[in-house]
Amino acid sequence: MTERRPALAKKVKQMEELAAILKAYKTILVIDSSRVRTYLINDMRLTFDGRVLFRYVKPNVLKKATTQIGEASLTEFASKHSYGTLILALTNEDPFKVTDEFRRNSMQLRAKSGDIAQSDIVVEPMNTGLPPGPVISELNEAGLPTRIETGSVWITKRTTVAKAGEVISPRKAAALSKIGIKPIRLYLSPKAAFSDKIEIAGSILKIEPSEVYEGLSLATRDALLVSLDIIFFSDKTLPILLSKAVTVAMSLAIATDYSLTETIEPLIKKAQAEVKSLESSIGAA
């Protein structure tokens, strides 16, 4: 019994410390640390020093800490994402902005056996700079066609070594490493965020800002076109609708020979054109 008390006291202290930290920040990003290299975290700590606090946590400690805080939505968020090995990124900044910066501070790494290709891994024709030897069979086994030229091994044609989502085999990983290809992009990728009492899914956080801007631009354009079709008045559509109405009214007035200050000149030109056409017809007769 006495052996358990120090361990229990330590857990209680960890929970209380974490609860205090969680209450001090408005945004919590939960990151699965199972595939995160330690040097990446260390680099991120330096890059975001003073802006983001990174903290490894145990799932049970996180759940108990949020329960102690007493915020129902936060407790629900923690219960949903408290599994595996976790890193919390705590900040008072916008979670989308921080996630975008995580992505832009990525590292390119050599592929390891068992890694998943994040996109198609394509090797272009190249001089590997490697001398002939066993490397030729290693590259060939990975699906890379080769030839020997000027004392080194060349890859002869553009080759897709692995498709997006494919597990990279030991042979392909070794071959890519030999020729210096680093196809694995590593960055901190939150699986979810909790900000201002709202949960944000990781899939939404991962959307590139350019995609958001493009989507908003298309939505704005489509909304304007629909508004014009149904003649819906707003500060955006009113100038266009008025211009269109004036054009239609002018065309109708000219077609019906209705005299207005604005139509006198077009009507005169219309009459002159009709006279010329009549004179041409009489001359031809």
pLDDT over 80 at 4, yes or no: no
Both structure tokens of 226: 């629909």
Separation between Cα atoms, residue 204 and residue 92, nearest integer Å: 19
Point out which residues pair with 184 in neighbouring strands. Answer: 109
pLDDT band at 36 (very low <50, low <70, confident <90, very high): confident
For 225-275, write each residue's pLDDT tens digit. 888 888 888 888 888 888 888 888 888 888 888 877 877 888 888 888 877
* pLDDT tens, position by position, 84-139: 889 999 999 999 999 999 998 888 889 989 889 989 999 999 999 999 999 999 99
Are residues 90 and 52 in contact, defined by beta-carbon separation less than 8 angstroms? yes
pLDDT reading at 1 higher than 50: no
Q: What is the pLDDT of residue 283?
A: 67
Domains and CATH numbers, the chain: 4-106+187-207 (3.30.70.1730), 121-185 (3.90.105.20), 213-284 (no CATH)
Does this model's pTM top 0.85?
Answer: no
For 183-222, the pLDDT digits (tens) are: 988 889 999 999 988 999 998 888 776 666 777 888 888 8
In whole angstroms, give the CA distance from residue 112 to residue 168. Answer: 7
> What does the pLDDT read at residue 285?
58
> How far, in Å, CA of 86 to CA of 36, rounded?
10
Tell me what pLDDT residue 284 has: 63
Does residue 7 or residue 181 have the better pLDDT? 181
CB atoms within 10 A of CB 249: 14
Alpha carbon distances (Å) from 124 to 23, 33, 137, 142, 151 = 51, 33, 18, 14, 20
Q: Is the pLDDT of residue 65 over 60?
A: yes
pLDDT of 70 higher than 80: yes
Q: Measuring CA to CA, which residue among 19, 90, 86 is closest to residue 50?
A: 90
